[in-house]
Amino acid sequence: MKKDNLFEQPIEKQFEFDEQVAAVFDDMIERSVPFYRQNLELIVNLLLRRIKAGMRIVDLGSSTGAMLVELARRCSVEATFIGIDNAPAMVELARKKAQAFDVSVDFVCEDLMEYDFSGADIILANYTLQFIRPMVRTKAVQKIYDALQPGGLFICSEKILMQDSWLNKQIIDIYYDYKQRQGYSKSEIMRKREALENVLIPYTIEENRVMFETCGFKTIDTLFQWGNFATMAAFKG
176: buried, middle or exposed (CB in 10 Å: 19+, 13-18, 0-12)? middle
Using pLDDT thresholds of 50, 70 and 90, give the confidence band for residue 181: very high
State residue 5's pLDDT score.
Answer: 62
Quote the CATH superfamily of domain 19-235: Vaccinia Virus protein VP39 (3.40.50.150)
Using pLDDT thresholds of 50, 70 and 90, give the confidence band for residue 189: confident
pTM equals 0.92
3-state secondary structure of 12: coil
State residue 193's pLDDT score.
Answer: 84
Q: What is the domain partition of the chain in residue ranges?
A: 19-235
Beta-ladder partners of 57:
81, 122
For residue 13, pLDDT beyond 90: no
What DSSP element (H or E) covers 194?
helix 186-196
Q: Which tens digits make up the pLDDT trace of 28-65?
A: 788 889 999 999 999 999 999 999 999 999 999 999 99
For residue 8, pLDDT beyond 70: no
* DSSP state at residue 129: G
Q: How many CB atoms lie within 10 A of CB 150?
A: 8
- Beta carbons of 108 and 82 less than 8 angstroms apart: yes
Instruction: State the average pLDDT over residues 130-154.
Output: 97
- Residue 73 has, within 13 A of its CA and on its CB side, a CA count of 14
Compute the distance between CA of residue 33 and CA of residue 126 in angstroms, rounded to an integer.
11
Residue of 102, 100, 166, 144 lying closest to 234 (CA atoms): 144
For residue 12, pLDDT beyond 70: no
